[in-house]
Structure 1
C-alpha cells in the first residue's frame, strides 16, 4: 500500500502547512477553496461526493473506494482502472480508513503531489464524518434486533424513492407482522417474547438478498425494502420468508407465523402512499386468516 511522502508529517496542522514543499502542487488559494468545500458538511456520503467531485475536476479521477470498519463507500465508474493508487488515513499512528483511487492514465509528478496533498487534507474531515456516522448508525438501530429502526427506514425509503424518480429503478416494500405473538408475551413473558423476535430477525435476514434492507418498527411489526425488484421477485422473497418462519424451531414451538403485505413502487409515490398500500395489504392478510401474503 502506497503511503504519503515523508514530508506529510502527521503533526503538521492544516493552518501551518508549508507550500514550499509543493512546487507543482496546489496553490494556497486552491487549498483554501478545497478546505472550504470539505468543511461544508459532516455527512459521510455528502463529504465523499464533494471530495470525489474535486478530484474529478483536478485529476480526472474515474473512481474512488473508501474502506472503513469492513465497509466500503464507492463512487464513480465500476470498471477496473488501469492506474490505481491506494493511500491510508492515519489517526494516532493507526489506519482508520484506506482510500483506493482509480485512474485510467498514469499520473505526472505534479498530479501525484496534488493527489497526496488533497488526500492529506481530506483525512481529518473524513475522520470527523466517520465518528458522526457511527453515532448516527447507533441512533438508527433497534436495540433488541440490531435492525434499522423507523428513522432508518424513513431515510432509506426516501433515498430509494429519489433513485426511482431519477433512474426509473424499481423497488419493493414488505410490511410484516407476527401472528400469535401477543400470546407469547402474555403466557411466557417478555423475555421469551424477545427470543422469538430475535429468532424471527435471524430468519428474516437469512431470506433477504445482500442488497435488501430490514427494519423493526417496534413490537412485532417489521418492514423490508427491496431495491432493484420486480413484482415476481417480491412474491418469491415474501414466500421464502413465510415458509422459513414456519420451519424455525422457536417460532414453530409457539405457533408464531407471519402475515405479509407487499407493494411495488409506483410513479409519483411518496413514502406515505407506498406504506399505506403495503399496510392495507397486510391488514387484508390478517383478515384472511393470517400466515399469508397479500399484494397491493
Structure 2
C-alpha cells in the first residue's frame, strides 16, 4: 500500500488552507485515552511537532525508546529516539489511504492491550496528521522545481542567504558551485524538448548520487544548477565540483546526447555578502566555459577580488 501522496493529484483537489485548518467533527472518534490529545495535535501543522506531541501520549501507554514515522514527504523521529529489542509497526489509514507508518521500539514486549490503546491514540491523530501532510506537501511544491524535484530559485535564494549568515556567525566555511550544461541547446534543437527534459532529469540524478546532502541542490531554470556547501563539505568544495562535472558527463543519458557541464566555484571570504559570492562563482563559471567546457574553475579567495566584484 502506497503512502499518502499528491504526485498524481491535481491541486484543484487538494483541500484549501482554510479547510485544512478548520476543526473537524470528532464526535465519532473514541477518546478513552489521552484526553485533549486532538486539541494538542491541532495546535501545529508541523509534522515533527505533531510526532513529538503524539510520542508523549504514547509514552503513557508503553515505555518507548523510539517512535519513527514514515510518510511520503519524509521520515521523522521523535526526539531522543534510540533502538531497542522490541519493535511494533502500525499503519495510519484514513479513507483507505495510508498516511504514514509508525515504528515503535521498546525494551519490553508490546501487549495486545497496549496495541489497542495505541490504536485509539492513532485514531485521534488521523485528521491532524492528514492536514499537516497536505500543508507540508504544498510547501514542498512551492520550493521545488517541478521537473527535477531539486530546489527552485526561490528556495535557493532563501537557503543561500541563511547559509552565508550562519557561516559568518559561526566562522565556518561556505562555498557556492554554479553549473551550466554544455551543448544543451543542441539537444532541444535537434531532438526536441522531451529529450531535453530527459537530460535534465539525468543531470539531477547524477548530482543527487554524487552529493551526500541532496537538499543543497538547486535548479534555477533552463540548464542552470547550483550547489550550496557549508561546514566540512565546503572545505572540499573543489573536489565536489570535479566529481559533479565528471558524474554528469559520464551519465549514460548525457553521454548519449553529448552533454557535459561546466562549473564555477567560489569560497566565502570574511565580510563578503551573498551578491559578491554569487558574482565570483558566476565569473568562475564563465571562465570554465571560455576555457573549453566540461571544466571547473575556482574564483581566487582574495579580498581585492571581492571588492572589485561587489562594485560590479
Q: Under TM normalisation by the shorter chain, which class is it?
A: 0.5 to 0.7
In structure 2, the residue matched to 1:14 is 26
Residues 44-98 of structure 1: CA deviation (Å, up to 9, x unaligned)? 3443355456667998754321112494222323531345443331213554312
In structure 1, the residue matched to 2:185 is 182
1:35 aligns with 2:38: yes
Q: Which runs of 5+ in 2 are unaligned?
A: 1-24, 300-312
Q: Is the 8 A contact 1:172 1:229 kept in 2?
A: no
Q: Is the 8 A contact 2:66 2:83 kept in 1?
A: no
Number of residue pairs aligned between Structure 1 and Structure 2: 276
Q: Is the 8 A contact 1:230 1:264 kept in 2?
A: no
Q: 1:211 to 1:75 in 2, by over 3 A?
A: farther
1:286 aligns with 2:289: yes
In structure 2, the residue matched to 1:220 is 223
Q: Is the 8 A contact 1:147 1:215 kept in 2?
A: yes
- Greater shift, 120-129 or 166-175, is seen at 166-175
2:126 to 107, 123, 128: 123
Cα distance, 1:282 vs structure 2:
2.7
- Separation of aligned partners in 1, 2:288 and 2:71: 42
- Separation of aligned partners in 2, 1:66 and 1:84: 13
- Separation of aligned partners in 2, 1:132 and 1:140: 13
1:63 aligns with 2:49: no
Q: 1:110 to 1:150 in 2, by over 3 A?
A: same
1:44 aligns with 2:47: yes
Please give the residue correspondences for 1:195-206 in structure 2 after superposition, counting only pairs within 5 Å.
195-206=198-209
Q: Is the 8 A contact 1:211 1:226 kept in 2?
A: no
Cα distance, 1:126 vs structure 2:
0.8
Cα distance, 1:218 vs structure 2:
0.5
TM-score (norm 1): 0.67
RMSD value over aligned CA atoms? 4.5
Q: 1:143 to 1:235 in 2, by over 3 A?
A: same
1:244 to 241, 247, 257: 247
- Separation of aligned partners in 1, 2:164 and 2:59: 27
Q: Which runs of 5+ in 1 are unaligned?
A: 1-12
Please give the residue correspondences for 1:89-108 in structure 2 after superposition, counting only pairs within 5 Å.
89-93=92-96, 95-103=98-106
